[in-house]
Amino acid sequence: MDFDSVVDELYAAARDEFTELRDERAKQARAAGDRQLATRIHGLRKPTTAAWLLNQLARARAGEVGRLGELGAALRRAHAELAGDELRALSRQRHELVRALTARVRQVGRERGVGVSDAVAQEVGETLDAALGDPEVAEELAAGRLSSAVRPGDVLSEQWLSSAGVAPPAGRGREKPARADRAKPTGEKAARPARDGRSAAMRVKAEERERGKAAKAGKAETERARAEAERSKTERSKAERSKAERERAERAAAERERRAEAARERAEAARRERAEAARRREEQAAARKRVREARAARGEAHRRLRDAERAEEQARKATALARAEFDRAEREVAEAERAAERV
């Protein structure tokens, strides 16, 4: 048994079986003598409904979920390059992918008999957005190991806007007009430079208009990017606070679980001690009963022995009396026989 295989097994199992299965695997690890593994397994959190559905989606639709990482990388690259058209196209793909995967999650819920409320669907969408902005979230989702929904992080980080602060290229100044004191050409030679000068001026104005448009577009795109970055930064701060709170809650839950496990172990040890004490008491009671029975048997045997001894004594006396009577009768017979001989 190793930690990764247990994690995969737990987060792939039915959500209502998670706690019982986790405790069973931790018990097995403890029985095998690996208390550290048992503690790590006990620290695994039961996934929320949104996280569990996303884990099942990652296993059932690995290819579609894997697109999140690819699209997120493309979005970050486009932000870094301030590629406006590409950003808009990728943003459309992003919304379409999130909507499609959210619909897939609802389908997974129906197939597994789990209702997907609007609140759960919102958590699913937020987690998918977070996976687009954070490669670590995308990796965790692709592995199917989420334990809770994730709020979107800083999708537009300040580093991505490093190029946004660069001012648009400065426009070229007007070409200096010809000096007034130069000799003015006449005839056809004078007309041709004049036409060329007007064409050059028009080109300069067109270039200036294009640069102005580009500068305005770049400024607008930069402002939009900065605003989105500020929103994302705020969301990231909230997410970080939420993450810190979740981590504190997880540590507290792990500590409570550790204490509960220690209490269960103490209770089990006390139960075993009580059972052992009860067994010893039963053995002692049985031994005392046997002693009483043996003593009663000994008393009965002693009584019968005394009765036998008394009977034996009486028999000896009766035997002696009978012998004396027999001897006396023998003497009388002898005397009678002698008397008969004399007559």
Q: 223 versus 130: which is more confidently predicted?
A: 130
Q: Record the tokens describing residue 299, joined without a space.
A: 């008393």
Instruction: Using the predicted structure, report yes or no on whether residue 182 has a pLDDT greater than 50.
Output: no
Instruction: Using the predicted structure, report yes or no on whether residue 153 has a pLDDT greater than 90.
Output: no
Residue with tokens 């029985």: 31
State mean pLDDT over 62-67.
Answer: 86
pLDDT tens, position by position, 256-279: 867 877 787 788 788 888 888 888
Which backbone phi and psi does 83 adopt, to 5 degrees? Answer: -85, 95
Among 156, 113, 148, residue whose Cα is nearest residue 11: 148
Instruction: Using the predicted structure, report yes or no on whether residue 167 has a pLDDT greater than 70.
Output: no
Q: 202 versus 259: which is more confidently predicted?
A: 259
What are the domain boundaries of the chain? 3-143
Q: Record the tokens describing residue 313, joined without a space.
A: 């004594």
Q: 203 versus 29: which is more confidently predicted?
A: 29
Q: What percent of the chain has pLDDT over 70?
A: 75
Calculate the alpha carbon distances from 231 to 16, 48, 82, 92, 194 in Å.
Answer: 37, 26, 18, 19, 55
Among 124, 94, 95, 119, residue whose Cα is nearest residue 108: 124
- In this prediction, residue 221 carries a pLDDT of 64
Instruction: Using the predicted structure, report yes or no on whether residue 61 has a pLDDT greater than 50.
Output: yes
CA–chain centroid gap for 58, Å, is 16
- In this prediction, residue 196 carries a pLDDT of 53
pTM over 0.85: no
Q: 239 versus 338: which is more confidently predicted?
A: 338
